[in-house]
Every structure is written in structure tokens, then in C-alpha cells.
Structure 1
């Protein structure tokens, strides 16, 4: 079947439905959480909207207590299942948008909006792929389950609940990363650097999610001297940064630095504003704790933490200090670490403790969480089939299956891989800024997302027919 033609015919309906989902601010919100909405009003609204679309189009749908939802196609008694895993929650909107973050903007061949790439757009593409198959009345040997979670961006609590309360598909893919096929994902550890060592920093609260490079940060200290203000101006210029300071009425000074946000899987694409402020405070105030923290966390490869490592399959370990909290003599820095499959969270903790002890700044490291790496045999039937689908639809016979530093739902299930929608070696065709996941003006080429519908439909057909 010509799924590309069918997908193009569905484009007006697809864009309308996608706009409905993009318009919902589905950031996790503890303040509005409750029974049936464990992650707050926004994620619940997005899940309800998707399940309503499923009912509208004749699918069987299930609501897993607000943690996730399922849209199914096929014999409900068929135990042989193919799963597609997407998520409907988003990271906070952030600042600096030139488009409306909560509306689908079509401009110069691109689609913009928070979640259009991560992961509402790809999830909707997978939904429409299944919709095309249903409307074409293609018989399948497997029951297809589109599972949509509501807490991927804040720890995947949704999938932890799903795995213990709902049916688990036997194999499948996750439309939440890159093409051609991602058969491996780095492990993910959250390690906290804690200290009660006195510091010149009176307060600092920076970062909104561990998996986002801190794009801007403020720090309050005792009232600064003129020399310290001059040093700040020099520091900003020497590091090509934008920033400011202001004296407060309570005899304190607040310092502000503008960095560059990015997904924590690629910290080298961003500039961590909080780390820059720690480095400045360490030098300008001769602050032992700030100096130690700034030095330990300044290298995204983890070199100063003693954890630098280059994996055979998965490449370099990365680290991002995603949350910094300093108040009332207590300091906490949460590190988001993506590591190759040759190591684990406990080994990293021991190395970081050794590095922290070497600073003599009273820093103690604690392992908060550890998620094992994902690794599926690149010679498996699943990977080979999806690679063939990708090559058929793109003509790209050279790009290999890969591993990534990002974490998707695939790591929570057995025999799952990530599959699109971003293309390898993509060349931007517009002069406007097109943001990636977790960035301002998040976007994707319209034709790529429409083509993803065709690719996902063909993948479902080959894996389930």
C-alpha cells in the first residue's frame, strides 16, 4: 500500500488533532494531582483527549488510572501483541519562544509547539499510522497496543505503574527519538551532591528538571564590593556570557547569568548558567564550597568527577547538574548522568565520592536513582525489520542503527527499541530557529512528521501482519 499517499490525504485531520493535543499544557503538576489524575490536570486532559480520539475512530481504549492510556486494534483475546509506546506529558514551556508554545504553528514547512517533537507529534503520527491500517481493514496476526504515558519527562512513574497494573506488550518500538533505529540507550543515574559547609551564597534555586541544562540562574550573596562587581563583568566577558547584578535593600546582591538550555543528553549543546555562577562565586568570594562544586560539575564528560568514560557501543558518558538548591546553610546539586553499558550507578557513586572527598569541601554524594541501560541485539529480527522499513521509505542505505544518551520508555520493556522520528544528518531548510527537544521554538519539518506516519504504518504491518 502507498502509505505515504494515504498519510498525505490525512494531513488536514492529523494537523487538527495534533493542534488539540499541543494546546494542552500537560506539564506534571503536583498541586492539581489526585485520584484519576496522578500527575495533575494537564496530563489528564491530554490523556482524555487522546482516548476520546480513539473512541471517535472506533478503537478499543483503556484508561490505566490516569497513569497511561491504551488504544488497541485487533482481537482483544489475541495474546500476541505489538506495542507502540509514546508519551503525552511535556517539559515546562520555558522562555524565549518566538512562536506560541501551546498552539501548533505551521511556518515555512515546519511545525512548532511544545511537544511537537517530544513526544506529542510522534505519538500522534503513530496513532494515525494505526488509523490508516484500521481504515484500510488490513488483517493483522498481532493485536496492536498504542500505550501513551503521562510522566515520561519526570521519571517515568507512569510506566512503573503500568508495568504492575496493565498488560505488557511482547515487543515493539518507541517513536520518541531518532531514525534509523536505536537499539541501545545509556543508563541514567541521578546523584546528589550534598553539603552543609558554610558558603558565601545565601540562596540559589536553579533548574526546573534534571534532564534540562539550566538556561538561566540567579544567586544571592552578601552585598558585593566594587571589586567583585568588576570581577563579574570580567568573568562574563571572558566566558562570552550575558548577565547582570543588583544590590538589594537587605544588604545583599543578586547575580544573574543567562546560559543556553538543552536536553541533558547533549549537555555540550547548552551552557549551564548555574555552574557559571558557582565558578564565579568560588573565585570572587574565595568560597571553598562554590569553587569545589563549580570545578566538579564544569566538565560535561565527568572528568573532574572521576567518571569520564567512552563506551564501546554507547560512546561518551555525559553529566548535567540539572537542579541546584542552596538555602539556610544547606546545599544540594542534582546530577543527571547518562552512562554507557560498561558501568553502573554504584560504580559512578564510588568514583564521585572519591573526587568529592579530594576537594576537602565537605561534599557528600548520594545515589538517588539508577536506570539500567537498554541494549537490544542489533542483529535481532526487530532491529533488522525496522531498519529495512526505514531504508525503504527514505532511500538511506548508509546510516546504521545507533545508540543514544537519551532515555525512552524502551528501557522499561523487554525487546523494545526507539524508532524515529528525527532523521540522521538532517539539514535545516528554513532560516528561522528550529528548537530541539526541551528547547524554545521546538519544531520539526512537516513533511518528516507526515512521512513518519507512513513509516510507522509500514512498520506495524511488517511486525504484526
Structure 2
């Protein structure tokens, strides 16, 4: 995809070292407006999160290419925008738009995000789609990824209209419905509908995201014996599996427990053994999370493979070979087991997640999500996967691939956004790269910028910590793509106010080019 970002300089008076008096006065108005609408914002977010909007093209229908659940949340959001008096557009069921009040000019600034979510998965302590508000947080699948940020975009349109903030560019909020499963949503939009002159992707964290790793989704088909052929685990290739289990036919619980006693204590602590019809059920509990951020996660497929490979429970040589292969391939989330490990200074280490495994033919199919640094080449990675799979006769296939995103750190656009964020957050942060992928991969002239403060990059804003979390969920829960997902309303408000100033500055800068 060709990227054509504005290259003209940013006037010095547009990015002063401190907020201007006019900007401070406007922030006071914005803060008062958000406070007056806070309860309504929370109610809207709870409403949106109750929709289990998992994209599923196997249930596609005319006008609903991603299935009925995405279509339902689109319908609800369109209705809410219409209730608020905004013009809306539908884009063949792939995406929807909400338009700000038109200025005199025809060019647009976009705010793009998504309303689809990953499947709920396991290990929740709350009902994933019975969203609720407590202690400053909204909890439920999609609260932070990405319905909270998506709602910020709509409320910006409201605030600008209510406060009489007039721009020379029209604001267009674009909501996709398949960001989590390949981004065909905004690929379709970009191919068939007008693309804004510049868009902010509101599906990330502050400060400015200047680079995203490439993304390679692949499958490995390999042989297995009679025991492992029934193995099925994982809910999404881009989520670390929380649990993995298997019925060991013909084995009683006493035998299985005796065999697992030889395993390391930390692995044994994650196993549960129960009687099952015709055998014994062996279950492993890992720790789920986003595939692009595997720190503090534990892949349950990996743990189960290790337990089976090292316990001596598998008599069939094909089963044993399959378990050893799985344990090796998924040995670390950094690609060490497949020979794909690589890193660079700009984008860090490659990550590799075995997200789904399921029966396939006479064996198994493993779905792998690789996020690779800018310095790597996806063809080389495929060759390494093929070599790793050859020992068990495995076949590797590419499901989809996205090249890395890279925007020059010193470009005028990055500099404007970074300076604005640092000034109004009262921090001294720098642009960052990440393994997570956003619609910046497919929407021309777009850049990911907030509205979150995630993963310890900006733990303090305006002297206040942004890393608070609910004290009523387990410490390992609460992350995007994991159980007990939550979002801080105060953090969304902080993102809202920074976005407002940023849009005003972007509007002025684009008038110079």
C-alpha cells in the first residue's frame, strides 16, 4: 500500500513549548463537557460491549460479510449516531461511517477504529458480554479493544458540535468489522470509498506509533497418532490459548497422576486430572493474552505438549513425535523453537504464537501468528517454519501476510503528534514501535496514535498514574484479548482531551500544505 503523508513543515507557532491560553481555555470547556456527559458515555459503552461482535465470515449474508453479530453492532451504533443527529453511511456491511458537521471544505480527517472483538475465551471471573461499570472501569470483552476508544471518536464529534469547534476539514469516524481477523473491512473501504486526507487510527496507545511489525499467519499440518488426533484448543490465532485438554483413552486417573508426578512442579501445578468416559481427561491452564504481547502469558498448548512429551503417557510413536514437535515449535514465544528468532533496534523481537490447534485429516493443524521486525523477511521465516516442520512431515501454508508499517520518526506528522502529546500530557516520551497490528496497515495515509496509555509506556500523565486497574479481578487478568478485559473511563477521558487538541492542530497544519 502506498503511503503519502503530508511532508510540509510544521509551523513553530502550531507546536509551542507550552499550551496557549486559547488551548487551555478550550481544554476547560472540553473537560466540563465530558464531565456532564460521563454517565451517558458509560451507558453507551456498556451497551456496545454487550454485543458479542465476533467477526465470522462463515455466517456471511448479503450486506453482512462478517456475520450477524458484527451486523448487529453496526446497526446499533448507526442508530445511536442517528439519535445524536449525525449523518451516517454504510459501506456494504464491511464498515460504517459517522460524519461530523460539514465545514466549507470537502477534505476530511478520519478517526478509524473497529467494533469487532476476539472470542471471549476462558478463565473469566465475570460474564464477558454482561458489561458493567465499577470503581471507574467498564469490564467486558471489547471494552478496551476497541469499543471504548471507538466511542471516544463518536463523542469527539458531539463535543465539537456542542462547543462550536469548527474545522476546515470534516471529521469522519470509520468503524470496521473485521480488524481482528485480517482487516478485510477497511481494505474494502479503501478500495471503494473516499479515503480521508489523513486518519488517526484510534486503536493503540500513546504516544505515536511509528512502526508495526509484519504479520504472518500460517498453518502447519502434521501427523499424529490416535491419542493426539482429538486435540483441540484455542479460540483465535492472535490470542494466547488459556486452556488445552485431551482425553487419554484407556488410561485411568491413577496412572496419569503417577506419570505426571515426574514433571516439574510449576508445570504440575497447572494440570488437572479427572475421570472421563473411556479414559482420563488431562487439562492444562495457561494464561491468555494478546499474541503480539506475550510477556506474562503462558500458552496452554505448549504446556500440554510438554506434559505429554515428558510424562511417558503416549505409547504410540506418532503421538510422541507430535507432542515433542509441538513442545519444540512452541518452546518460547520468540521463535526459538522454529529458528525464526530475530530482532532489530527499531521494532524489537519477533513474537510467535500457536493460537489454535485442531484435528485435520489424520493429524493436527496448528495455527501460528508471527509478528516479525522490520529487518526480517517473511519468505525467510516461511523457509524456517518449513525446515522445522520437515522432521514430522509437516506442511506449512500461508493464510495471510501483512508487511510492516514504518513512518519516519522525524517526519512532520510524527513530530506534530508527538510534540502535542508530550505538551498536554506533561511527559517526555518518544515514538514507539509495536507488534500489534492496526488498520494503519490497510488504510492509506493513516497513523496509530492513542487513545490508550498501555503497557507501561506512559504510566503517568499530568502527574496522575494511568496504570490503575480493578482490584476485584485476578492480577493476571484484564488485558486485551484476555479474560476480564477492562477499560478506565478516566483514561478514555484523558485520550479524548488530547485527541481534541490534536485534531485542531492537524486541521491547521493541513491547511498549510
Structure 2 length normalisation: TM-score?
Answer: 0.85
- CA apart distance, 1:6: 2.2
Structure 2 equivalent of residue 244 of structure 1? 272
1:260 to 270, 273, 287: 287
* 181-190 or 131-140, larger mean C-alpha shift: 131-140
Matched, 1:322 2:355: yes
Aligned residues: 461
* 17-26 or 297-306, larger mean C-alpha shift: 17-26
* 34-43 or 82-91, larger mean C-alpha shift: 34-43
- CA apart distance, 1:392: 2.9
Are the counterparts in 2 of residues 214 and 260 from structure 1 also a CA contact under 8 Å?
yes
Structure 2 equivalent of residue 439 of structure 1? 482
Structure 2 equivalent of residue 113 of structure 1? 140
- Spell out, residue by residue over 1:362-382, the C-alpha distance to the aligned partner (whole angstroms, 9 max, x if none): 222222211111111122222
Aligned positions of 1:277-426 closer than 5 A: 277-283=304-310, 284=312, 285=314, 287-326=320-359, 329-357=362-390, 360-396=391-427, 398-423=428-453, 424-425=458-459, 426=466
* 109-118 or 256-265, larger mean C-alpha shift: 109-118
Matched, 1:61 2:88: yes
Matched, 1:218 2:245: yes
Structure 2 equivalent of residue 176 of structure 1? 203
Distance 1:88 1:173 in 2: 16
1:133 to 160, 181, 187: 160
Are the counterparts in 1 of residues 195 and 444 from structure 2 also a CA contact under 8 Å?
no
5+ residue gaps, structure 1: none
Q: SS of 1:320's equivalent?
A: strand
1:452 to 495, 504, 509: 495
Are the counterparts in 1 of residues 216 and 402 from structure 2 also a CA contact under 8 Å?
yes
Q: SS of 1:82's equivalent?
A: strand
- Spell out, residue by residue over 1:168-226, the C-alpha distance to the aligned partner (whole angstroms, 9 max, x if none): 22222111111111111111101211113546413111111000000001123442375
Q: Indicate how the Cα distance of structure 1 residues 362 and 241 shifts in structure 2: closer, same or farther if over 3 A, else same.
A: farther
Are the counterparts in 1 of residues 267 and 307 from structure 2 also a CA contact under 8 Å?
no
1:83 to 110, 120, 144: 110
Distance 2:138 2:365 in 1: 38
Q: Indicate how the Cα distance of structure 1 residues 342 and 79 shifts in structure 2: closer, same or farther if over 3 A, else same.
A: farther
Q: Indicate how the Cα distance of structure 1 residues 464 and 101 shifts in structure 2: closer, same or farther if over 3 A, else same.
A: same
How large is the Cα RMSD of the aligned pairs? 2.2
5+ residue gaps, structure 2: 1-25, 460-465, 509-513
- CA apart distance, 1:247: 4.5
Distance 1:76 1:38 in 2: 33
Distance 2:494 2:467 in 1: 16
- CA apart distance, 1:256: 1.1
Structure 1 length normalisation: TM-score?
Answer: 0.93
Distance 2:377 2:108 in 1: 32
Q: Indicate how the Cα distance of structure 1 residues 33 and 161 shifts in structure 2: closer, same or farther if over 3 A, else same.
A: same
- CA apart distance, 1:402: 0.3
Aligned positions of 1:18-37 closer than 5 A: 18-30=45-57, 32-37=59-64
- Spell out, residue by residue over 1:340-361, the C-alpha distance to the aligned partner (whole angstroms, 9 max, x if none): 111232110012222333xx22
Distance 2:129 2:392 in 1: 44
Structure 1 equivalent of residue 14 of structure 2? none
Q: SS of 1:101's equivalent?
A: coil
Distance 2:104 2:382 in 1: 46
**Structure 1 residue ranges (4+ consecutive) displaced by more than 6 angstroms after TM superposition:** none
Structure 1 equivalent of residue 5 of structure 2? none
Distance 2:358 2:104 in 1: 51
- CA apart distance, 1:308: 0.6
